[in-house]
Structure 1
Amino acid sequence: MAALVSQENMVTPTLVSRTGRHLQRYSKHGSRQVVGCIPYRFKSREKGSLVDETGEEVEVLVISSQKGKGLLFPKGGWEMDESMNAAALRETVEEAGVRGTIERQLGKWSFKSKSQDAVYEGYMFPLLVDEQLEIWPEKNVRRRYWMNVREAREVCQHGWMKEALDVLVSRLASKEGGDLPSL
């Protein structure tokens, strides 16, 4: 018997990023809706690191902003023709060049744009990475960096993304029985 595979959690990389806002979703209050992922993986254990039950260190992937000022997690517009999960996966492939398994939503945050006088709704998901692409749509405009949770929290330029990272850390800690260092 053949197994059915859900297409919602799968993204095929393209060589170009989606552009334009004609399909952009907005909340009932007029806030632009954006979605993103905190890509993570387990690496060999180092002293004082966040670990899973097998003793492996958790690393997260941060990317440079398009304008080159600061580091953040991949995120972008949620469009009318896609589910929230599909949009988060698409943005992560476009901006960070990684694929994997998307997990349960970390939460919803409202935040103000630094460059415009606009309010956004941001939704973040953990993404357990299983593939890192050599070529991805924004390779020429972004850098990507794997680092431990503490380092990522220090360098991430958005407070709401740091809060999402804290939720991920708490979730991973509860899976392990709470044997994780505090941030």
Structure 2
Amino acid sequence: MALVSQDNVMALISRTGRELQRYRKGRRQVVGCIPYRYSLEASKELEVMVISSKKGKAMLFPKGGWELDESKKEAALRETIEEAGVRGIVEAKLGKWSFKSKTYDTFYDGYMFPLLVEEQLEFWPEQHVRQRIWMSVSEAKEACQHWWMKEALERLVNRLTTHKLGRMKPIVGSVQCIGDD
């Protein structure tokens, strides 16, 4: 088990460029998180955070390139801080999806992780180019533009439902990456 302090992945500006990007069999490797929390209301309903894309009004979960100097979880956490301005516990991988980029007409491998939000930052690198919105799972399924992210959200809901029923061990930790699934 490797513990990685979040202080090591926080930057005041977003990383840019593709010179450190990972590729496997010609496919760009991208990682992201589904930030989630339970509402503060008595119902304690599951809420997820979506963000706007840079190029339009489409909504999605934070994601971006997995770079050579990072584990998958470190990259997912970095992207989530940069794009959504939230920190928390990166949990076990939800899965891997292969998809074609509409913008670049190339194929990607995408890995998604749940992120149990512990802190919502007032200032974050992409705050001037993205909006972030907490919404219910059903609203997120409607709003999210990517089919593979919708599948990741469904896996998260299934995992949390199973957890609620007592079939999984609780996940403990502080604001850190634990291991690399």
Runs of 4+ in 1 over 3 A off after TM superposition: 8-12
Q: Which residue of 1 aligns with 2:139?
A: 151
Give the root-mean-square deviation of aligned CA atoms: 1.7
- Check the 8 A contact 1:9/1:102 in 2, yes or no: no
Q: Which has the higher contact order (CA 8 A, sep 6+)?
A: 2
**Does structure 1 residue 25 correspond to structure 2 residue 13?**
no
Q: Which residue of 1 aligns with 2:35?
A: 39
Q: Which residue of 2 aligns with 1:103?
A: 91
Task: List alignment gaps of at least 5 residues for structure 1.
Answer: 47-54, 179-183
Q: How many aligned positions are there?
A: 165
Equivalent-residue separation in structure 1 for 2:8 and 2:112 (angstroms): 17
Instruction: Calculate percent identity across the aligned residue pairs.
Output: 64
Equivalent-residue separation in structure 2 for 1:8 and 1:105 (angstroms): 19
Judging changes above 3 Å, is the alpha-carbon distance between structure 1 residues 72 and 168 closer, same or farther for their aligned structure 2 residues?
same
Which of 12, 16, 31 is the aligned partner of 2:13? 16
TM-score w.r.t. structure 1 length? 0.85
Which of 106, 119, 123 is the aligned partner of 2:111? 123
Deviation at 1:107?
0.1
Which of 58, 65, 81 is the aligned partner of 1:70? 58
Paired AA for residue 38 in structure 1:
I
- Check the 8 A contact 1:11/1:89 in 2, yes or no: no
**Deviation by residue 1:64-123 (Cα, 9 ceiling, x = unmatched):** 001123000000000001111000000000000000000000000000001121000000
Equivalent-residue separation in structure 2 for 1:123 and 1:159 (angstroms): 13
Equivalent-residue separation in structure 2 for 1:135 and 1:71 (angstroms): 20
TM-score w.r.t. structure 2 length? 0.86
Considering only CA atoms, is the larger Rg found in Structure 1 or Structure 2? 1
